[in-house]
Amino acid sequence: MSWEHREWAGGGGYREGGRFADNPLNWAPTIGTVSGIRVRVHILFILFIFFELLGAKYSVSYTAQCMFVLFGSVLLHEFGHCLAGRRVGGFATDILMWPLGGLATVEAPRRPWPQFLTVVFGPLVNVALFSIAAGLMWSGVFGERSVPFNPFFGWESDASTWANPRLWARLIFQINWVLFLFNLWPMYPMDGGRMLQCVLWWKLGHNRSLSIATTVGMVAAIVLGFYGLANQQWMLLAIAIMGYMACRNQRMLLKFGAYDGSESQGPRFDLSQDRPRRDGWLTRLRKQRQARALELHREKQASLQEEVDRILEKVHQNGIQSLTEREKKTLADATHKQQAAGRR
């Protein structure tokens, strides 16, 4: 579950899902677009769900419920990255769902704080989901007041039915709890590794922080890989291998000078300018009020000028004695303002 801007996002070929006849492994059909963010599902993720159902350890119904909650939780996690990236002045265009998690195409301003917020809002979505589910279970609304905090046990289902709200709450808690803990693992480019790099970035600069984060990430990948191998968790092993390769790739980029030394830029081959930072809603509201006040002032000045022109025309036609007291005051005020402006 990580996010990063990829050069190939947004064009043709694989970017559009690819043509099945060209390479089925690149097939990722679009299932919908939400707020301008396209959601695609990789064929490997579809196969992963199929084989999980085929070799279900428990009932097929229970496994299907797990897959449903997992898919929804990961998707919401990625939307957390996307919406946070937009809020800090960046943009988001694409989410790809695949067996090793989700990939959100997000480009946030390349500074520590915007990057950190974009990363952290993914896990915070999982925190919100498991907190709501835990609150419901602990309240006793489903009869049993228990929360399965141990991520390694308690997955057996004694009531695998889609109409059982207690089971839904339990699955939402367990899956989001595990996703949250897993994403804190400091293996770059997962969220934990990226958060570590962003924190170090403040004090050490981009390149040094990336070097340290990828070193920690390689160690974390080795530990995760050995755990997956020892427990025959092949998915964890695959994630560990890909994480190790990603860390090594970033270190190679640093070694060969792919980063230009600027704290706010990425590799030299991706030096696109940061998009202008979007103002917060308070700033936008204040600017709207200022613009409205300026518009009202201009309208008032234009109306006053029309009234002065009418009074002067009346004086020209009928003389000063034809003016009412109100018209005399209006003309005197306008004359005073004009004289004051001339003295500035």
- 139 in a domain, yes or no? no
- 286 in a domain, yes or no? yes
Q: Residue 313 is part of which domain span?
A: 281-343
pLDDT of residue 230: 92
* Cα pseudo-dihedral 165, 166, 169, 174, rounded to 10: -140
pLDDT of residue 150: 64
- 310 in a domain, yes or no? yes
- 322 in a domain, yes or no? yes
Long-range contacts of 164-170 (CB under 8 A, 24+ apart): 166/137, 166/142, 167/65, 168/65, 168/69, 169/133, 169/136, 169/137, 169/142, 170/133, 170/137
Residue 240 neighbours by CB under 8 Å, 6+ apart: 187, 221, 222, 224, 225, 228
pLDDT of residue 71: 93
pLDDT of residue 216: 96
Strand ordering across the sheet containing 91-98: 2-3, 101-107, 91-98, 37-41, 30-34
pLDDT of residue 273: 37
274 vs 199, higher pLDDT: 199
pLDDT of residue 267: 45
Structural domain total, the chain? 1
Q: Which pTM value belongs to this model? A: 0.67
Two tokens, residue 38: 């396209």
Long-range contacts of 4-11 (CB under 8 A, 24+ apart): 4/103, 4/105, 4/106, 4/189, 5/105, 5/106, 5/107, 5/266, 5/270, 6/103, 6/105, 7/269, 7/270, 9/93, 9/94, 9/105, 10/93, 10/94, 10/105
- 176 in a domain, yes or no? no
Rounded alpha-carbon distances, angstroms, from residue 305 to 151, 297, 315: 75, 12, 15
Judge whether residue 247 has pLDDT over 90.
yes
Spatial distance between the Cα atoms of 94 and 79, rounded to a whole number of angstroms: 10
pLDDT tens digits along 86-126: 999 998 999 999 877 788 889 999 899 999 999 999 999 99
- 308 in a domain, yes or no? yes
pLDDT tens digits along 25-59: 568 888 999 989 999 999 888 888 888 888 777 77
- 339 in a domain, yes or no? yes
- 299 in a domain, yes or no? yes
